[in-house]
Chain A
Amino acid sequence: METTLAPGGVAAHLLPSPRPVQLLDPDGSLAEQPTDAHHYELPSAERLLHVWRGMVIGRRLDVQSTALTKQGRLAVYPGSRGQEACQVGAVQAITERDWMFPTYRESVALFTRGVDPVEALTLLRGDAHCGYDPIAHKTAPQCTPLSTQLVHAAGAAHGEKRRGSDAVALAFIGDGATSEGDFHEALNFAAVFSAPVIFFVQNNKYAISVPLAKQSKAPALAYKGIGYGIRSEQIDGNDPAAVLAVMDAAVEHARGGNGPFLIEAHTYRMDAHTNADDASRYRTADEVSAWLAKDPLSRLQTYLTAGGHLDDAGVRDAEQEAEERAADLRDRMNAEPQVDPMSLFDHVFAEPTPQQQEQRAMVQAELHAESEEQA
């Protein structure tokens, strides 16, 4: 790897911009570009329109999921509200041949990926551990043990490379989870094997109740890359244009054989950690409303409308599609699916052990006795 000697330090080309990259400011105007930042081109209006539409739909489905949780249809729901630019922008920057490694937080990323929302919500509905086909979607099961998925992403990216493919892996992680050992192991493995993986940190400022200040003393999480020799960048994660532009650069970097890329997206979790969490215990309403003013969706909508790329009819059209998809999700989630207890034994091994077969027979006999009783 070539090392740039810059005044003040080696390997300066690996360092992130000193401040989060922002192409659109919170008012939806083009942001002035500082001279000391890496330069990124504003994506085309066509692509920004596509991101915007994805965000309109993603947010509507996220709000619907929260509502379904209140009605008892989901066991638990970690919301994505406020983080749509990250999840939609990042996913739209990769292709179907690339891999995605989501956490529990990434419902909107899964919707954007084209996973049927009902399948995406199966885990949280409590029917099964994963409702979609990870191979068909090239999307790993949503990961809960924090940071563990990152090492898988590095391995998958390396595997693709070894197979001669140019596919990359996009791995999501939260700010708090960067404290786990697996985050560091994944960065190091990816760098050592020059694996084409993009680590996308959604720094939403909290790990449940713990603020970032108690998590890390790094100037920004993006600075964690340089120690591993990984090119890194920090972005305004509520600026969909910055997300897309920097993701494009990261994908090009990884696909081009230059190894991994680390992105820290500064964003904010507008809802509580999950429906089971009481966020008023650790943050103020003022703090939350200040972030409302930085909303990623209205920012992009303002920009596109002002530039003449979007009109009222366009907005209505997207909102109508969002409503239809939310209604479809609601209807299908309201139908209580039958989960077959006998399926419990189906997928522990290719062949159940003799002991599992005995237990299977026991459960079968119990179910039989129950249905006799009911008859």
Chain B
Amino acid sequence: MSTITMANALNQALRDSIAEDENVLVFGEDVGTLGGVFRITDGLTRDFGEDRCFDTPLAEAGIVGFALGMCLTGFRPVVEMQFDAFAYPAFEQIASHVAKMRNRTAGKVTLPMVIRVPYAGGIGGVEHHCDSSEGYYAHTPGLKVVTPSTPADAYSLLREAIADPDPVVFMEPKVLYWSKADLELPATTEPFGRAAVRRNGTDVTLVTYGPSVPTALKAAEAAQEEGWNVEVIDLRTIVPFDDETVVESVRRTGRCVVVSEAQGFGGVAGEVAARVTERCFHSLEAPVLRVSGLDIPYPAPKLEHTYLPGVERILDAIARLQWDDVPDLHHAGAGATA
């Protein structure tokens, strides 16, 4: 066992994938000599050569389109978008081509590519460096959307993403890059489509993913002191979605709060809330609430703590789950909208 950060785990997953499969290639902006601005590709060019890990011209549409072309010749590209908001130039390629190719060609052309996206905030980044863009991808059929919250999952899910026959948007919570765990690599965790119960509880289910998992766990600890026994579910893969684990938990607890850092309106949290309501209506003691980012552009660093859904907002939402049968939906309002 050794202490491993999420960044180390991702780097090792890339290394092991490159070593095991000669078709795996890593490319993007600054991923070569520099090792990426977050050092996720550190040392890959040095250790495996320019053929396996290389810098490209600075053009995201080009990177993703080029990767698609290489897939046609049997390669398995793992490309890096430097930051969430800098993947937008590639959106055309992703939404119109990467996501649709298998469908358009009736399965004759498949795209085993991984698009790595460092995402979300909480690191004091200036504008365009903190977007939670998972909703755009999750809303696009044909893309798997994966987001680890632990070093073990970072390793295992990235290995699985690279081995997957379909395109995977692999969303890495920047704020967790330096989070640590005692771990032996290689590690294999649950496969795609399986959520993880990070904390068992009986009174409320918090459903969350990515950067919000540690916050939800903190909130669960704090709730314990107030007498609520909170279960925390980490989705791990947004697409495919694990209805089974979520539904089993909410039917048992009867209450559910969805926590996500992304803006709430039209987002993944709303999808989760709808699915839970559709499947657990008769078990629910209270409406499913959402605690999410405010519906504003991600703010400047000095105000990000006001934007981010924190422990207090989660506790507040839990408190509003009709414990004494008094509906109080209008108490604090949105960010946690009924």
Contacts and interface: CB of A to CB of B under 8 A. Distances in A.
Interface of A: 75-76, 123-124, 126-129, 144-146, 176-177, 179-182, 207-210, 214-216, 277, 281-282, 339, 341, 343-345, 348, 353, 355-356, 358-359, 361-363, 365-366
B201 interface: no
A124 B131 CA distance: 17
A144 B128 CA distance: 7
B88 interface: yes
B108 interface: no
A362 B335 contact: yes
Contacts of A126: 124, 126, 300-302
Contacts of B85: 145
Contacts of B30: 207-210
A180 B296 contact: no
A353 B263 CA distance: 14
Nearest to B312: A366
Given A180-B58, A214-B57, A353-B295, A341 B334 contact: no
Contact of B296 (A282, A348, A358): A348
A232 B270 CA distance: 52
B127 to A, nearest CB: 5
A159 B98 CA distance: 37
A279 to B, nearest CB: 10
A344 B306 contact: yes
B285 interface: no
B80 interface: no
B33 A209 contact: yes
Looking at chain B's contact residues, the main secondary structure is loop
Nearest to A179: B57
Contacts of B33: 209, 281-282
Interface string B300-338: 111100110000110000000000000000001111110
A179 B62 contact: yes
Contacts of B294: 344-345, 356, 359, 363
A220 B22 CA distance: 36
Nearest to A208: B30
Contacts of B125: 75
Q: Which 3 A-B pairs have the closest CB atoms?
A: A126-B301, A209-B34, A358-B333
A222 B125 CA distance: 33
Interface in B59-81: 59-62
Given A126-B126, A129-B127, A216-B57, A145 B300 contact: no
B269 to A, nearest CB: 14
Nearest to B57: A179
Contact of A341 (B55, B62, B126, B303): B303
B35 interface: yes
A144 B127 CA distance: 8
Given A210-B55, A215-B57, A75 B29 contact: no
A210 B35 CA distance: 11
A145 B89 CA distance: 9
Nearest to A217: B57
Interface residues of B, number: 45
A177 B126 CA distance: 19
A258 B274 CA distance: 58
Given A126-B301, A145-B85, A344-B303, 19 more contacts: A75-B124, A126-B126, A126-B300, A144-B126, A145-B89, A176-B57, A179-B62, A207-B29, A207-B58, A208-B29, A208-B34, A209-B32, A210-B55, A210-B58, A282-B34, A341-B303, A341-B306, A344-B307, A362-B335
Contacts of A124: 126
Contacts of A277: 37
Which of A339, A359, A363 has its CB near the most chain B CB atoms (within 10 A)?
Answer: A359
B301 A214 contact: no
A173 to B, nearest CB: 11
Contacts of B302: 126-127, 339
Contacts of A209: 30, 32-34, 55
B59 A358 contact: no
B297 interface: yes
Contact of B334 (A127, A344, A359): A359
B299 interface: yes
Contact of A363 (B32, B86, B306): B306
B136 interface: no
B178 interface: no
Given A126-B126, A341-B303, A362 B333 contact: yes
Given A129-B127, A210-B29, A355-B265, A179 B34 contact: no
A355 B295 contact: yes
Contacts of B86: 145-146
Which of B85, B88, B128 has the most chain A CB atoms closer than 10 A to its own CB? B128
B58 A176 contact: yes
Nearest to A141: B127
Contacts of A365: 332-333
B55 to A, nearest CB: 5
B59 A181 contact: yes
A343 B128 CA distance: 19
B300 A339 contact: yes
Given A181-B59, A363-B306, A281 B35 contact: yes
A40 to B, nearest CB: 31
Nearest to A148: B89
B16 to A, nearest CB: 24
A208 B307 CA distance: 30
Contacts of A362: 332-336
Contact of B301 (A75, A208, A216, A348): A75
B124 A145 contact: no
Interface string B233-250: 000000000000000000
